[in-house]
Amino acid sequence: MSKAYFDYAAKRLLQAIVVILLSYVFTFVVVSILPGDPITNVLNNPQNGFTPNEIKEIIAAQGLDKPIPVQLWSAFSGFVTGDLGLSMRTNRPVATLIAEVLPSTLVLASAGLAVALFLAAIIAYGTQFLPRRFGQGLLRGFPSLFLSVPNFVIGLVLIHLFGFQLGVFRVIEPDSFWATLFAAIALGIPISAQIAEVLIANLDHESGQDYAAVARGRGLGQMRLFVTHLLKPSSLPVITVVALTIGELLGGSLITETVFGRNGLGSLVQRSVSTQDLPVLQAVVSLAAVVFVVVNLIADLTYPLLDPRVKLLGGQERRPTTADDSSLPISKAVTR
Amino acid sequence: MAPRDRLTSLSNRASTPLLRAEGLSVAYGTHRVVSNVGFELGRGKGLALIGESGSGKSTIARAVLRLLPATGHASGRVEFEGQELLGLPERRFRPFRGRRIGFVPQDPGNSLNPVRAIGAQAMEAAALLDEPDTALRKALVLETFAQVGLDNPQRVYDSYPHQLSGGMLQRVLIGLAVLPRPSLLVADEPTSALDVTIQKRILDLLSKLQEELQISLLLITHDLAIAAERADSIVVLKDGTVQEAGSTATVFSAPSSSYARKLHGDVPALNPDRYRPLREPGFRHLGARREKTPKIEVAGVTKTFTVDGKVLTAVNDVSFDVQAGTTHALVGESGSGKTTAIRILLGLEQPDTGKIAVGGEQVNGRSPEQLRSVWRHLQLVYQNPFTSLDPTWNVEKTVREPLDRFKIGTHQERALAVRKAFADVGLGEHLLTRKPAALSGGQRQRVAIARSLVLKPDVIVLDEPTSALDVSVQADIVEVLLSLQAKLGLTYVFVSHDLALVRQLAHTVSVMQRGRIVEHGTVGEIFDTPRQPYTRSLLESIPSGAARFARAQPLQHRQIFSEEKIA
């Protein structure tokens, strides 16, 4: 691996860290300037039944009586050193709360992504082998269908059909294998649509390229052409698409968890929102930012390794549209 | 096979042509693009299909190769060694691909998979040889690379397509096509994406391989001069029908169809003196040059760019003068710096050193506001009319825009000026409300010229104004330009890679190579007595085989200024 690649990787890593830190500060500031503060809304709310002493204790522990910049500084320095603070509602460390529910969400999100990739591959690659008139049109219709149905509807239909009617899984055991699988299907279907659309567009583009015709002229059959020539260039951009759908995957996970009754980040967020448990919300948002940034960092770092055309110029990634100007028709080459 | 059978089949082989098309038609849906085309190609011979865009020549090539897109349908007969190809199921046609019919594509830059190494793709072609040993197959690939003139075969083998130049890629593709020793090579415009000197080398390579390996060549080209030089017989196509067919000598010395005659008249390489009367005033201005200061003075201009940390001198100490009312041509291949030179002339780029004056006013070192006053007298016509006009504007608005920007005249005066410019370039007023998409390429370029004329400039910079156009359309545009020059006394700076075209219309020429002007002179000096080897190599790259046919032709002068046919 070249020095250019390491320079590029170092620069991107630095950028990623800055983005994460900035997103933390941004979230904190936005939450602080929103109307309503936790003291009046939560602590002084008679429904929650805190005693005056407890309220004082919580205010002191959270430092809620201090000015916002001071609060930000103590929270931020805690975040940098790995201390996410205490939950206002339960008074337990936020890190512990998240660690309890995170594995369940990660399992669901990864399974959802796997389902999405699997479905997208079947739909997109299938269009290359089915006869044009029949079948292909059907497959090409799937992505728009998948996109137009919200995942909680898919989830409810799956629960009704496979949980209650067919009894494939027991609805009261949401963490069982089958229940997780169906939750992952509900989560993965809308995401598969986006990936499939990109894949289909790329496949259509690549198979219409001159090199595909030339390779066929060289005697390659449909299958060889697809596997050796079209698969890689059409699939590479999917890396970027997957990285961008991570946000949706996380958000979708929270909804799907609620629909399937799983105990995960979704229920934690729900409880924290209703009680304005700011430290927990701040931590979850930051966690989402970290996941998003890390996944995109991985995508950016793998792309140059897979596509020989990507040139790394001074830490900037640039996909050249054409390799060599002299290979262009003169009408294009001179426009530089 | 019994000996008798073999004998008869052998005698059949000798008498049947290698490739024969009869009643070949191709339709996309209900739209017919090729109708009832027939031709024959003998063993080891060369046949050229020539025509302009939309003539169906490439479609015929694709039909023969059975590489038409899924919506295309071919009917009629295409026989290869007596075997009908169109009706064959794909499974039975595949053995023909590569092994017996090779394909050299048009645009080498897009014809190899960009994410796979060249070696991997070459091995696909080598797999068609009945050679089980992989190492031997690779050796054959390297040998073929050397045969097609690639200096370092192993390096080419390990490279990715983007790491090679267009000329090298075309050599690779030709190598891959001839590697399995096909008896027919279909070459679809194999050089139209390449620089002129490389174009000649690639054509020489094809001729050499054709002779050495006894390959028949089906050459698709828009360039009559190339066809004359490289083919034994020619089929002239227009709108999908055959206009004329016959031996190259016949089609050239005595073309019988009016279309072939017109095409013949429009090819610059065959008619260097076509526009003599229109160019006379320019030569008179040039003769009187000692008495006047030049319209354009470029002195010692240098411009460097930094790319990837390397300093690249795009324009190196370039100087030239242009007399008012004459055409000065900047000639060179891609990367020679001619485009950078005109960008500096137009003030779009600042030179590092040097001085540029137009009409006695210095251009370089001006602020953007000051440049505007220069631009009133200095206009640009861009090379590609398909991208240089705003597709959402009607052309009247496009042509009027410079007047609006410079706030010239009242509303009525502007409308009149637009109509005047339209008339000057030979466009009918009924086209004023059209959008560019509803115009042909030639009409669009006329609109672009009208837009540059509307400010009544003295100087127009023409950046390859015809390179995106067909040869007959090119002739129309050249005629418009020269008529305007004769009428209005305009000064042109004409950038081109096409020397034959330059010879037709320029008065003085600068030949550029790697940022420098290597030779400078009048059009007569450059073309009749070139001093520099580079200039000579450029001149040699003009297809010359046609010249002997051309001299047999009586010189025909075109009617000056034909109105654009109503679209």
Distance CA(B462)–CA(B295), nearest Å, equals: 16
User: In whole angstroms, what separates CA B375 from the centre of its chain?
Assistant: 30
pLDDT score, position B18: 93
Co-location of B44 and B164 in the same domain: yes
Co-location of B58 and B123 in the same domain: yes
Co-location of B219 and B142 in the same domain: yes
Q: Categorize the per-residue pLDDT at A316 as very low, low, confident or very high, splitting at 50, 70 and 90.
A: very low
CATH of the domain at B364: 3.40.50.300
Counting residues of chain B whose pLDDT is more than 90, the rounded percentage is 43
The per-residue pLDDT for range B383-410, each reduced to its tens digit, is 888 888 999 999 999 999 999 988 888 9
ipTM above 0.85, yes or no: no
Co-location of B154 and B108 in the same domain: yes
The residue among B212, B235, B266 that closes a domain is: B266
pLDDT score, position B492: 94
The residue among B266, B300, B318 that closes a domain is: B266
Contacts A–B by Cβ distance under 8 A? 137
Residue ranges per structural domain of chain A: 1-89+278-321, 101-274
Q: Which of A210-214, B111-115, B381-385 has the lowest mean pLDDT?
A: B381-385
Domain tally, chain B:
2
Chain B residues whose beta carbon lies within 8 Å of the beta carbon of residue A330: 193, 195, 334, 464, 467, 497
Co-location of B303 and B235 in the same domain: no
Distance CA(A30)–CA(B327), nearest Å, equals: 66
* Mean pLDDT of the B507-526 span: 92
The per-residue pLDDT for range A175-208, each reduced to its tens digit, is 888 889 999 999 999 999 999 999 999 998 998 8
pLDDT surpasses 70 at B560:
no
| Residue B98 forms part of a structural domain | yes
- CA angle, B324 as apex, B318 and B329 as ends, to 5°? 45
- Pick the residue with more confidence: B20 or B132? B20
Distance CA(A247)–CA(A266), nearest Å, equals: 14
pLDDT surpasses 60 at A79:
yes
Co-location of B249 and B289 in the same domain: no
Co-location of B113 and B148 in the same domain: yes
Q: Which two tokens stand for residue A298?
A: 């991985």
3-state secondary structure of B434: coil
pLDDT surpasses 90 at B518:
yes
Instruction: Give the distance between the most distant pair of CA atoms in chain B.
Output: 91
Distance CA(B41)–CA(B21), nearest Å, equals: 9
Partner-chain contact A327 B113, CB within 8 Å = no
C-alpha pair distances (Å), A289 with each of A16, A79, A273, B413:
10, 13, 18, 61
3-state secondary structure of B458: coil
pLDDT surpasses 90 at B156:
yes
| Residue B61 forms part of a structural domain | yes
Highest average pLDDT, of A133-137, A219-223, B416-420, comes from B416-420
B551 Cβ contact list (under 8 Å, min separation 6): none
pLDDT surpasses 90 at A147:
no
3-state secondary structure of B129: coil
What are the helix (H) ranges across B222-365? 224-230, 248-253, 258-266, 276-287, 338-345
pLDDT score, position B290: 63
Chain B residues whose beta carbon lies within 8 Å of the beta carbon of residue A307: 115
| Residue B205 forms part of a structural domain | yes
Co-location of B48 and B130 in the same domain: yes
| Residue B156 forms part of a structural domain | yes
DSSP designation for A93: B
Contact with chain B for residue A321, Cβ under 8 A: no
What are the helix (H) ranges across chain A? 3-33, 38, 52-62, 68-80, 94-127, 137-148, 151-158, 177-207, 210-217, 222-224, 231-260, 265-274, 278-306, 330-333
Co-location of B29 and B131 in the same domain: yes
Partner-chain contact A219 B103, CB within 8 Å = no
* Mean pLDDT of the B124-139 span: 89
Co-location of B152 and B255 in the same domain: yes
Q: Which class does domain A101-274 fall in?
A: mainly alpha
Co-location of B165 and B279 in the same domain: no
DSSP designation for B559: P
Contact B233, B245 (CB under 8 A): yes
Co-location of B119 and B188 in the same domain: yes
Chain A residues whose beta carbon lies within 8 Å of the beta carbon of residue B193: 327-330
pLDDT surpasses 60 at B338:
yes
Q: Which two tokens stand for residue B259?
A: 């279309």
Give the structural domain span for B174. Answer: 17-266
B559 Cβ contact list (under 8 Å, min separation 6): none
For residue B221, the cross-strand partners are B50
Nearest to A215 among B94, B124, B334 (CB): B124
The per-residue pLDDT for range A82-96, each reduced to its tens digit, is 888 888 778 788 889
Contact B186, B14 (CB under 8 A): no
Q: Which of A2-11, A126-135, B323-332 has the lowest mean pLDDT?
A: A126-135
| Residue B69 forms part of a structural domain | yes
Q: Nearest chain A residue to B177 by CA: give it.
A: A218
Distance CA(A326)–CA(B497), nearest Å, equals: 13
The residue among B266, B293, B326 that closes a domain is: B266
| Residue B131 forms part of a structural domain | yes
pLDDT surpasses 70 at B546:
no
3-state secondary structure of B180: coil
The per-residue pLDDT for range B59-103, each reduced to its tens digit, is 999 999 999 888 889 999 999 998 999 989 888 999 999 999 999
For residue B49, the cross-strand partners are B220, B235
The per-residue pLDDT for range B172-230, each reduced to its tens digit, is 999 999 999 899 999 998 888 778 788 888 889 899 889 988 999 999 998 888 888 88
Q: How far is A1 from chain B, CA to nearest CA, in Å?
A: 17
Q: What is the average pLDDT value for chain A, to the nearest integer?
A: 82
Q: Categorize the per-residue pLDDT at B553 as very low, low, confident or very high, splitting at 50, 70 and 90.
A: very low
pLDDT score, position B562: 41
Q: What is the average pLDDT value for chain B, to the nearest integer?
A: 86
The per-residue pLDDT for range A221-245, each reduced to its tens digit, is 888 888 889 988 888 888 889 988 8
Q: How far is B254 from chain A, CA to nearest CA, in Å?
A: 33
Q: Categorize the per-residue pLDDT at A22 as very low, low, confident or very high, splitting at 50, 70 and 90.
A: very high
3-state secondary structure of B358: strand
B136 Cβ contact list (under 8 Å, min separation 6): none
- DSSP per-residue string spanning B431-455: GTT--GGGS-HHHHHHHHHHHHHTT
The per-residue pLDDT for range A155-182, each reduced to its tens digit, is 889 888 888 888 888 877 788 888 899 9
Q: Which two tokens stand for residue B51?
A: 């025509």
Contact with chain B for residue A131, Cβ under 8 A: no
